[in-house]
Every structure is written in C-alpha cells, then in structure tokens.
Amino acid sequence: MNIKKLILQGEGTTLDFKKTITNHEKIARCLVAFANHKGGQLLIGVADDGTIKGVKSEDEERYMLLKSAQQYCKPAVDLSFEEVYVDDKLVLVVSIHPSETKPHYALDENKKWWVYFRIQDKSLLASKILVDVIKKTAEHLVVPIPHGKEETILFDYLQQEGRITLKQYSKVIKSSFKKAQKILVGQILNGAIQPHSSEKEEYFTRISQ
C-alpha cells in the first residue's frame, strides 16, 4: 500500500486522517459515518495536514478502535487493520466496509444514539432524509429514475439557483414535505443530486455529469 500516494488524495468521502485516537465517542461517529455510506479508511498516525507522525502504541490504538466499534456503535462496526511503515514510522490503516446492517448509530457523551453519514471530508449527523437514504441503500433498493413535472421543477430550480432545501422544494412544487422528501431521496439514490449539511440547514445540489 502506497500511503504517501493515498495521503496526497486528501481527506474525503472514503478517507480520514487521525494523529491518534483519544475519544471513543468521536471515533465512533467517524466509524458509523463510513459504515453508513461507502465505507472508507482511517490512517492512524497521520495529522490533518497529511504529515506522517506515526503511532506510539499500535496495540493501544487498536484497542481504542475496537472498543469504539463494538461498544459505541450499534450495530457494531466491523474493522480490519493493516500496519504500514513509512520512513520508519508506523501508520495503522483501518478499513471500514460498507455495511449490510445499516443504519448504524453512534453513542454520544450524553448516552444518546445518533446516525451519522459521510459527506465530503466530514462525519455529519444524518437528517431524516439521509436516514431514509441509508435504509434504502441497505435494502439494495433499485429506484427507477422518474422525470415528471416535479423532477423538472427540481432540476430547473437547481440550474438557476444552484441549491435547494426541502422547505424550498416543497414550496415550489406545492406539495407536502413527505412527497418532496421522497423525490429528493430518490434523486440522491439515483446519483443526480447530493446533500450538504451546515450548522443552519441541509440543502441539495446537482451532481455534475
């Protein structure tokens, strides 16, 4: 495995860097987010800027990860490990595979369970829309690609404005939140649009073809 080449890709949907593991709740969120999406890899011993620091105690890091995966994730998340030396420094490569038992929940500091999802380089709390997407991908649901009046309105709006929220979409198609959400979920599963989350709102954009 060419770790340096992997690091050059930067953190993203399927890759994250961790200098060390110090908090069960934080790492559980990351593990769950990967398992609920496309899977991914954690490079332990690599700083956020891509600098290879190496791990001080491989056994301790592995113990922390396994405990997080088994006790702070529900259902438990399966992990596999590989040790790679780079410039005499040990990097622990942790692989998380896309799960067949999603959605997975992570335990927070207040002993509450939440669903997380990987969006770009962040592990974010999943909205109701994303939880619906996760459930349908777990069911291997094949969604037909509809393109009726509502879908045309959606793509025309995105062409003009660049982004749309559930509330905005519900308003422009003059329909219920439930119907608008169903259409958005279908288009996410079809790979036509993608979700984005900020502290204030969740919104959707068109995926470039």
User: Domain locations in the chain?
Assistant: 3-126, 136-206
Average pLDDT of 45-61? Answer: 93
- As a dihedral over the C-alpha atoms of residue 127, residue 128, residue 130, residue 134, rounded to 10 degrees, the angle is 130
Average pLDDT of 164-179? Answer: 94
CATH classification for the domain delimited by 3-126, as one of 3.30.950.30, 3.30.420.40, 2.60.40.10, 3.40.50.720: 3.30.950.30
pLDDT given for residue 145 in this prediction: 60
Under the banding of pLDDT at 50, 70 and 90, the label for residue 8 is very high
Average pLDDT of 80-92? Answer: 94
Burial 28-62 (b: 16+ CB within 10 A, else e): bbbbbbbbbbeebbbbbbbeeeeebebbeebeebb
Q: Would the pLDDT of 110 be above 80?
A: yes
What does the H/E/C string look like for 31-51? HHHHHCCCCEEEEECECCCCC
Share of the chain above pLDDT 90, in %: 66
pLDDT mean across residues, the chain: 90
pLDDT given for residue 141 in this prediction: 57
Q: Are 168 and 177 in contact (CB under 8 A)?
A: no
Average pLDDT of 110-114? Answer: 95
Under the banding of pLDDT at 50, 70 and 90, the label for residue 142 is low
CATH architecture of 136-206: Orthogonal Bundle (1.10)
Under the banding of pLDDT at 50, 70 and 90, the label for residue 129 is confident
At 207, list the tokens. Answer: 């995926």
Average pLDDT of 91-117? Answer: 94
pLDDT given for residue 201 in this prediction: 82
Under the banding of pLDDT at 50, 70 and 90, the label for residue 191 is confident
